[in-house]
Amino acid sequence: MKIATWNVNSLRARMPRVLEWLEATEVDVVLLQETKMANDAFDPAPFTELGYEAAHHGDGQWNGVAILSRCGIEGVESGFGDPQVEAGCRILHATCGGVRVSSVYVPNGRALDDPHYAVKLRWLEHLRTWLDDASAANAPHVIGGDFNIAPSDADVWDPAALVGMTHVSAAERAALAALCGLGYEDVVEHLHPQAGQFSWWDYRGGSFRQNHGMRIDLLLASAPLMGRLIAASVDREARKGEKPSDHAPVVARFSD
């Protein structure tokens, strides 16, 4: 089974590229973030034509998450069940081919002195509590998405340039480590611990060409799945060409 996560930065704007990528890669399950559309604007028909069932959780021009699956989709659930902490449509769960998957779009945080930073930390804590209460890591489970956190200094192009900024703060990294402490492992870091495996590059300043990026898009797999991990990588090719997302897909392959 091949599972991918991709922040598409507007599904409406990126639909041709997404469909082309799906046809070329034949990924079984895709977790999408930043669809930037409401549920009534989400049309599953283009995905159905390629053999995918689809679920979507969105309410407008911001946020929005989706799950596409070629191996069935059931048990769809959205949110945490508490609108007070959800900060928009940012999390969607489903079971696909016997694997529970969660598409997550963690709040950005903006700046360390911005109220949105506190919202981000509370959201991550709520996710940890929710996963712990559900004992989700005891079964085959993948949490994939845009975490807006670079796990370590090896996951940013220049750590010195980002001191005092979000995405690299100690509190954010501690929150991510707490999630992994429940029994999850970062599949790309597991197979490719070397620096430079970035998944996001700013549109400005030739960042992609110079590889001035960050690895903030992650696939976290539970222990029952890590034993089945065959391959994991960032698809840099999908970041090239006309009108790309500023994120590249992250893809993992697991044995059946």
Whether pTM exceeds 0.75: yes
- pLDDT 10s digits, 209-233: 999 999 999 999 999 999 999 999 9
pLDDT at site 7: 98
* Cβ atoms 113, 101 nearer than 8 A: no
Annotated catalytic, 105? yes
pLDDT at site 185: 98
Percent of the residues in the chain that have a pLDDT greater than 70, as a whole number: 100
Position 252 pLDDT exceeds 80: yes
Tokens of 230: 């065959």
pLDDT at site 86: 87
CA distance 121 to 139: 26
* Cβ atoms 144, 122 nearer than 8 A: no
Q: Tell me what the pLDDT averaged over the chain comes to.
A: 96
Tokens of 245: 């997302």
- CATH code: domain 2-254 is 3.60.10.10
| Catalytic-labelled residue, pool 28, 52, 146, 217 | 146
Among residues 51, 37, 30, the alpha carbon closest in space to that of 9 is found at: 37
pLDDT at site 84: 75
- pLDDT 10s digits, 5-14: 999 999 999 9
**DSSP output for the chain:** -EEEEEE-S-HHHHHHHHHHHHHHH--SEEEEE---SBGGG---HHHHTTT-EEEEE-BSSS--EEEEESS--EEEEES-S-HHHH-SS-EEEEEETTEEEEEEE------TTSHHHHHHHHHHHHHHHHHHHHTGGGSSEEEEEE-S--SSGGGBS-GGGGTTSTTS-HHHHHHHHHHHTTTEEEHHHHH--SS----EE-SSTTHHHHT-EE--EEEEEEHHHHTTEEEEEE-GGGGSSSS--SB--EEEEE--
pLDDT at site 82: 77
Report CA Rg, the chain.
17
**How many CB atoms are closer than 10 A to CB 89?**
23
Among residues 99, 42, 40, the alpha carbon closest in space to that of 69 is found at: 99
CA distance 19 to 216: 23
- Across 39-43, 84-88, 185-189, 236-240, least confident range: 84-88
pLDDT at site 61: 86
- pLDDT 10s digits, 49-99: 999 999 999 998 899 999 999 999 999 999 987 777 789 999 999 999 999
CA distance 3 to 28: 6
C-alpha distances (whole Å) from 178 to each of 29, 108, 128, 141 are 26, 18, 7, 16
**Packing angle between helix 170-180 and helix 115-134, nearest 10 degrees?**
10
- pLDDT 10s digits, 109-140: 999 999 999 999 999 999 999 999 989 899 99
Tokens of 1: 């089974």
Annotated catalytic, 40? no
pLDDT at site 80: 85
| Catalytic-labelled residue, pool 28, 52, 105, 217 | 105
CA distance 150 to 86: 22
Phi and psi dihedrals of 169, rounded to 5?
-70, 155
pLDDT at site 134: 87
